[in-house]
Amino acid sequence: MMIRSSTILLLVLTYSLKTFSQDKDFGIWYGVDVKHELASKLDLEVSSFVRTFDNAHKIEQAFIEAGLEYRINKFLSAAGSYRLLSNIEDNSKYYFQHKAFFDLKGQIDIADLRLVSRIRFQTRLKTFHEYVEDKYPDYTARFRLKLTYRTPSFPLNPYIYGEIFCPLADNVDTVKGKNRAAAGLEFKIIKNHSAELEYIFQRDYIPHMSDENILSICYCFNF
């Protein structure tokens, strides 16, 4: 199972990296993530991000998100969260959007490797209505596979992941709305403090095919 899952992830990464010559944009994501254990199996997580585009010269969106994760057992957990974001639209103005997420996560550890799979269902409600369908919520299913190499004696944990976004709408004539492939590092600073640095290749298929290279920087705090 481990070999099969890792092979699928590497195939996603290989497919995405082959399109590197078609790059059209570059962005930087800046974020802060805070986690707190409310009970023995229940965690609260709050995060905030600013995402740029147009060669990192403009802010595409900024958001704050809060959610709860319940650990069903050592292999499975479920989570729900809400995100309030301000997003730039075609008229170059910023409008609020509301997103809600429901996640199911599976995790398995083999020696120093950790494999995490996630199925996420999300819904989005816009406040800027350019088209009639913008008045109604849209729905997306997301499938992600992440492989982390944990190094107990060293403060760096490298990881890779691949993610596919599948729109759930009758008026969308594509199975994939977006692909992401990423490679990154988790850096342990001091107790309960860490940072993540990752490179993301993202390909959008809606409304037209476009590619973006992203550098993501996140400061993480657990208490």
- The CA distance from 11 to 17, in Å, is 10
pTM for the whole structure: 0.87
* Backbone φ and ψ of 199, nearest 5°: -105, 135
- The CA distance from 178 to 98, in Å, is 19
Distance, CA of 122 to chain centre: 12
Which pair of tokens denotes residue 62? 């900024």
> pLDDT (tens digit, 9 = 90+) per residue, 157-214?
999 999 999 999 877 777 889 999 999 999 999 989 999 999 999 999 988 899 999 9
- The CA distance from 189 to 183, in Å, is 19
Contacts 24+ apart (CB under 8 A), 186-189: 186/148, 186/156, 186/157, 186/158, 186/159, 187/155, 187/156, 188/155, 188/156, 188/157, 189/155
Q: Are strands 26-37 and 210-222 parallel, antiparallel or unpaired?
A: parallel
> pLDDT (tens digit, 9 = 90+) per residue, 62-87?
999 999 999 999 999 999 999 999 99
Which pair of tokens denotes residue 51? 């995402």
Q: Where are the domains of the chain?
A: 2-222
Q: What is the mean pLDDT of the chain?
A: 91
Domain 2-222, classified CATH 2.40.160.40, yes or no: yes
pLDDT on residue 16: 47
Q: What single string gives the DSSP state of each residue in 58-90? A: EEEEEEEEEEEEEE-SSSEEEEEEEEEEEEE-T
Query: How does residue 24 score in pLDDT terms, banded at 50, 70 and 90?
Result: confident
Q: Which whole number is the average pLDDT over 24-46?
A: 97
